[in-house]
């Protein structure tokens, strides 16, 4: 299978060995995990196995695989064309040396990772893709897609950086342009019916994740932040219907835990809200450090978290294909990525989340060289100061070199919360 995908088998084996060890240390070592996490463990054990077989079977049946890197790409449109949507990960320090041959060294780790994975030939998802959708969000990604396109066909969606009426119109135009491109690549017509069905599938997935988030507001927390992050990461790869069913089953178990006051850490454990850059799989370093230092993460204000799942598409009253695309565009327009200016909504959301999840402090996570989130930390710190919420800024990359130093900083921060 790997050969047919044109992968570098030796490098891929090296990646899997490193991932298996990290997964066991970070996830399987946890005490008192919900039983429903068994499904996620299974998915992760087969993430470079059965799931890839499923994708290849789908391709044999004439379906296309479309890869994405950003929350602004509406997966509803991909699903409506009977294609498989895969959120490509970019969360590991692998292929970095190769990436640095084509990218400046001072590029964020996420961008280096997706370019590095492709150049090293270690990601079966990228290799299985018929098309990758990029976007003009930050400058680094915008320009990196030009290079990425040399190795994999990449269609770039224009995301404006302001939210004026003219920007909204441009965004709606881009959503239509994406639908046209997906129709061209898949050879399938996107209709009002197929859009409605796709919206229902994706809304159901997001509702299951909302349910999970609400349960995390309980003290003691019924599930760890690491496991919740993992669920949010897996949602980008797994079959959406199966994933939704499994998350709902897990939530049934968590409801029971909440009723019985069973938690992954004792009541009164310091509660942390993580806010900032997305943590794409397998970027688990900071959550592991935070929870290993004696806190529990109760929410993620991130694209691999609540920022990505917050709103649903509202199709009420929409009947035609164009009206449905209007509603889809409207839903995605509400995402409050730091690439926008001004971006007051994100600050309001973090404030709201600290209250909703009873967070004792906010850890602002920035991937080194990510200008939008680093810049926005200034107004975020000010806002948290006004709310009286302790705030810690962490800037790091994907390497483990600073793990001990980060642990010291996190432990000192947690001392403040006592
Ligand atoms: S909607 S957060 S997924 S752009 S970390 S590559 S911003 S320099 S990932 Fe993102 Fe879409 Fe926004 Fe979400 Fe650039 Fe920053 Fe790197 Fe980033």
Q: Which pTM was predicted?
A: 0.97
- What would the mean pLDDT of 54-83 be, rounded to a whole number? 98
Q: What is the pLDDT of residues 123-167, one digit of tens each?
A: 999 999 999 999 999 999 999 999 999 999 999 999 999 999 999
Q: Is the pLDDT of residue 258 over 90?
A: yes
- Please indicate whether residue 289, judged by its CB atom, sits closer than 6 Å to ligand 1: no
Q: How distant is the alpha carbon of residue 138 from its chain centre? A: 16
CA of 393 from ligand 1 middle (Å) equals 17
User: Which residues are paired to 271 by β-bridges?
Assistant: 296
Long-range contacts of 226-229 (CB under 8 A, 24+ apart): 226/26, 226/27, 226/30, 226/284, 226/287, 226/288, 226/291, 226/297, 227/27, 227/30, 227/33, 227/34, 227/37, 227/40, 227/264, 228/297, 228/300, 229/279, 229/284, 229/287, 229/297, 229/300, 229/304, 229/305
Q: Is the pLDDT of residue 89 over 90?
A: no
Strand-pair category, 131-135 with 65-68: parallel
Residue 174 buriedness (CB in 10 A; 0-12 / 13-18 / 19+): buried
CA of 277 from ligand 1 middle (Å) equals 6
Q: Is the pLDDT of residue 418 over 90?
A: no
Q: Is the pLDDT of residue 3 over 90?
A: no
Q: Candidates 75, 93, 104, 108: which one to mutate for ligand 1, based on the most atoms within 8 Å of Cβ?
A: 108
> At 394, phi and psi to the nearest 5?
-125, 125
Q: Is the pLDDT of residue 360 over 90?
A: yes
- For the sheet containing 84-87, what is the strand order? 84-87, 65-68, 131-135, 154-157
Q: What is the dihedral of CA 317, 318, 323, 329, to 10 degrees?
A: 90
- What would the mean pLDDT of 213-241 be, rounded to a whole number? 98
- What would the mean pLDDT of 363-369 be, rounded to a whole number? 98
- For residues 262 and 255, what is the distance between their CA atoms, to the nearest angstrom? 10
CA of 137 from ligand 1 middle (Å) equals 7
Q: Check residue 406 and give its pLDDT.
A: 98
Q: Check residue 133 and give its pLDDT.
A: 98
Q: What is the pLDDT of residues 156-172, one digit of tens each?
A: 999 999 999 999 999 99
Q: How many CB atoms are closer than 10 A to CB 118?
A: 22
CA of 254 from ligand 1 middle (Å) equals 31
- The share of the chain scoring above pLDDT 90, in percent, equals 97
């Amino acid at each position: 299978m790997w050969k047919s995908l044109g992968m570098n088998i030796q490098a891929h084996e090296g990646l899997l060995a490193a991932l298996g060890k990290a997964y066991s240390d970070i996830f399987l070592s946890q005490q008192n995990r919900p039983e429903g996490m068994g499904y996620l463990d299974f998915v992760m054990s087969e993430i470079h196995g059965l799931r890839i077989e499923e994708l290849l079977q789908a391709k044999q049946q004439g379906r296309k695989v479309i890869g994405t890197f950003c929350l602004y790409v509406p997966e509803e449109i991909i699903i409506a064309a009977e294609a498989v949507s895969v959120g490509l990960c970019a969360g590991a320090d692998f292929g970095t040396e190769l990436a640095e041959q084509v990218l400046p060294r001072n590029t964020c780790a996420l961008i280096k990772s997706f370019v590095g994975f492709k150049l090293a030939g270690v990601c079966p998802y990228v290799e299985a893709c018929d098309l990758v959708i990029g976007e003009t969000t930050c400058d680094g990604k915008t320009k990196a897609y030009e290079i990425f396109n040399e190795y994999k066909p990449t269609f770039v969606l224009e995301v404006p950086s302001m939210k004026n009426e003219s920007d909204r119109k441009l965004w709606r135009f881009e959503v239509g342009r994406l639908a046209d491109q997906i129709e061209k690549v898949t050879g399938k017509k996107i209709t009002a019916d197929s859009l409605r069905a796709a919206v229902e599938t994706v809304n159901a997935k997001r509702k299951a994740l909302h349910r999970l988030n609400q349960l995390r507001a309980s003290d003691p927390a019924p599930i760890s932040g690491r496991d919740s992050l993992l669920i949010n990461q897996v949602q980008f790869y797994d079959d959406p219907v199966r994933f939704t069913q499994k998350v709902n089953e897990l939530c049934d178990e968590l409801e029971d835990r909440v009723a019985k006051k069973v938690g992954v850490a004792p009541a009164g454990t310091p509660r942390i809200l993580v806010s900032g850059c997305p943590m794409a799989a397998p970027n688990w370093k900071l959550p592991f450090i935070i929870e290993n230092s004696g806190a529990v993460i109760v929410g993620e204000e991130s694209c691999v978290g609540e920022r990505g799942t917050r709103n649903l598409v509202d199709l009420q009253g929409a009947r035609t294909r164009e009206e449905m695309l209007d509603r889809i565009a409207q839903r995605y327009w509400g995402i409050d990525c730091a690439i926008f200016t001004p971006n007051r909504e994100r600050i309001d959301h973090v404030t709201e989340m600290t209250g909703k999840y009873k967070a004792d402090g906010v850890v602002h996570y920035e991937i080194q060289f990510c200008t939008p989130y680093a810049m926005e930390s200034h107004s975020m710190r000010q806002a948290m100061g006004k709310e009286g919420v302790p705030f810690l800024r962490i800037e790091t990359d994907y390497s483990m070199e600073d793990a001990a130093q980060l642990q010291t900083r996190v432990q000192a921060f947690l001392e403040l919360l006592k």
